C-alpha cells in the first residue's frame, strides 16, 4: 500500500522552529516530486512548498520563503520541512503529498500533522 505518514507537529512559541517529517512507503520515493500543503483550522488548502525528485530544485510561495526549507533523504524515503521564525498564522495541519509525473497534481496525501504556534 502506498502511504505517507507525517510526524513532528507540536505546540511552539512564536519565533520558534520545528521540523516536520514525512515517511513514504509502498512506492519508489526517489522517482517523485513531493509537496507540503497546509490547512488552517476551518480554512482551505494552501500550498507551502515542493521539491523535485533528487532534491536539487525547490520552490516556495512568498509567505514562507526565507523561513521554511523543504528537503528530502531518498535513502531514508523521507521528506522534511524545516520551519523557522514561526508565526501564529502558520498554525495549521501540514500535509505532505506526492506529485505524479511533473503534473503538480497531488495523488497521495498523508494524514497530516498539527502545528500550533502560540505563546
Q: Rule CB under 8 A: say whether 61 interacts with another protein.
A: yes
| Residue 39 CA to its chain's centroid (Å) | 11
Q: Rule CB under 8 A: say whether 104 interacts with another protein.
A: yes
Neighbouring residues of 32: CB distance < 8 A, sequence distance ≥ 6: 53, 98, 99, 100
Asked if 22 contacts 4 with a C-beta cutoff of 8 angstroms, the reply is: yes
Q: Which one of the spans 9-17, 23-31, 46-54, 67-75 is the region binding another protein (CB under 8 A)?
A: 46-54
Q: Which one of the spans 11-19, 23-31, 39-47, 72-80 is the region binding another protein (CB under 8 A)?
A: 39-47
- The residues pairing with 25 across neighbouring beta strands, listed in sequence order, are 3
Q: Which residues are at the interface with another protein (CB under 8 A)?
A: 35, 44-47, 50, 59, 61, 95, 103-112
Amino acid at each position: 500500500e502506498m502511504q505517507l505518514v507525517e510526524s513532528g507537529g507540536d505546540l511552539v512559541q512564536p519565533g520558534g522552529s520545528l521540523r516536520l517529517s514525512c515517511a513514504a512507503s509502498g512506492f519508489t520515493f526517489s522517482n517523485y516530486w513531493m509537496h507540503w500543503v497546509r490547512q488552517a483550522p476551518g480554512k482551505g488548502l494552501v500550498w507551502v512548498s515542493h521539491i523535485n525528485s533528487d532534491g536539487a530544485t525547490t520552490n516556495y510561495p512568498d509567505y514562507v520563503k526565507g523561513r521554511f526549507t523543504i528537503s528530502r533523504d531518498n535513502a531514508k524515503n523521507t521528506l522534511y520541512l524545516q520551519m523557522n521564525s514561526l508565526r501564529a498564522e502558520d498554525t495549521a495541519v501540514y500535509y505532505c503529498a506526492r506529485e505524479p509525473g511533473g503534473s503538480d497534481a497531488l495523488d497521495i496525501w498523508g494524514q497530516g500533522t498539527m502545528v500550533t504556534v502560540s505563546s
